[in-house]
């Protein structure tokens, strides 16, 4: 039987119902990882699990079908996340990798017009959710003295992003959390890094572009051109490119990398 480069590893991925999260799940599964999948949308979660099974063949398909854990959960609810982690460790004996991907885009409005509830809701999912998931898996990783935590941040966590302040603040915070956690976890041989995509071609950026066009009262095409024009390569990155970077950071090849916020942007700037 051929072995994948991540065979025997267990990866927990949040927000796998669509987009980057789903693509990361498919990529890690294709490399042999056993998965702990979660999303707050049960239908989208089950579709991702179905796609994983459909894309794998032979013994590896049977292994994933028999072993992977797939459960609806809200990353802002510590009890739900802790229960998921406990059950995953009981069933799979380990969690080697955590990918904190669950996030929302939030409102597209100036600060003066953003409601407090919208601000708090974005930070609760995008930042506190990552804290909750890390807190839930860390005791297990620290006991085993190994692990990898990958936080899905954004280029918006490095630059100003007018009309997207809750989202930008959450991603700036996630990078700070990443660096601090890396320092704390270093003695336990746990690497913690952030991935910072620029605009990623897909459903999420389409929604962001539409909302921005509506708020500015300009054509959608003009907003799309603006995003692309700010890229050195004059294009958006793809979900597969982002997933490949995550797979590298989840692998043994990245054992010497921690505390980094790594951009994958096609040279995007603001």
25 in Cβ contact with 16 (< 8 Å): yes
Phi, psi of 109 (to 5 degrees): -155, 160
List the structure tokens of 111. 């600060």
- Tell me whether residue 167 is one of the annotated catalytic residues: yes
DSSP 221-269: HHHHHHHHHTBTTSS-B-HHHHHHHHHHHHSGGGTT--S-EEEESSSB-
User: What is the spatial order of strands in the sheet that 10-14 belongs to?
Assistant: 69-72, 34-39, 10-14, 97-100, 147-152, 190-197, 261-264
Question: CA-to-CA distance for 212 and 164, rounded, in angstroms?
Answer: 9
List the structure tokens of 47. 């579709």
Phi, psi of 259 (to 5 degrees): 75, 15
Question: Minimal CA–CA distance to 26: which of 78, 58, 2, 61?
Answer: 61
- Which of the following is catalytic: 167, 188, 227, 269? 167
Q: For residue 62, what are the contacts with CB-CB under 8 A and spacing of at least 6?
A: none
- Which residues are known to be catalytic? 167
């Amino acid at each position: 039987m051929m072995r994948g480069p991540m065979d025997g590893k267990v990866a927990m991925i949040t927000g796998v119902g669509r987009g980057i999260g789903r693509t990361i799940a498919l990529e890690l599964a294709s490399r042999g990882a056993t998965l702990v999948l979660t999303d707050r949308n049960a239908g989208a979660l089950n579709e991702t699990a179905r796609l994983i099974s459909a894309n794998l063949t032979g013994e590896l398909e049977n292994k994933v079908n028999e072993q992977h854990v797939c459960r609806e959960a809200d990353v802002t609810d510590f009890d739900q996340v802790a229960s998921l982690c406990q059950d995953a460790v009981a069933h799979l004996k380990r969690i080697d990798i955590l990918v904190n991907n669950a996030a929302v885009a939030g409102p597209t409005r100036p600060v003066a017009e953003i409601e407090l509830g919208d601000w708090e809701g974005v930070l609760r999912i995008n930042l506190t959710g990552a804290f909750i998931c890390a807190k839930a898996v860390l005791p297990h990783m620290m006991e085993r003295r190994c692990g990898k935590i990958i936080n899905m941040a954004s280029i918006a966590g490095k630059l100003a992003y007018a009309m997207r302040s809750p989202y930008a603040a959450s991603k700036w915070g996630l990078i700070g959390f990443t660096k601090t956690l890396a320092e704390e976890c270093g003695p336990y041989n746990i690497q913690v890094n952030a991935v910072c995509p620029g605009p990623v071609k897909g459903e999420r950026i389409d929604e962001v572009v539409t909302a921005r066009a509506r708020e500015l009262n300009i054509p959608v095409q003009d907003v799309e051109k603006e995003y692309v024009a700010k890229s050195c390569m004059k294009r958006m990155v793809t979900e597969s490119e982002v997933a490949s970077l995550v797979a590298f950071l989840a692998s043994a090849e990245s054992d010497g990398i921690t505390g980094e916020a790594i951009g994958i942007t096609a040279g995007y700037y603001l």
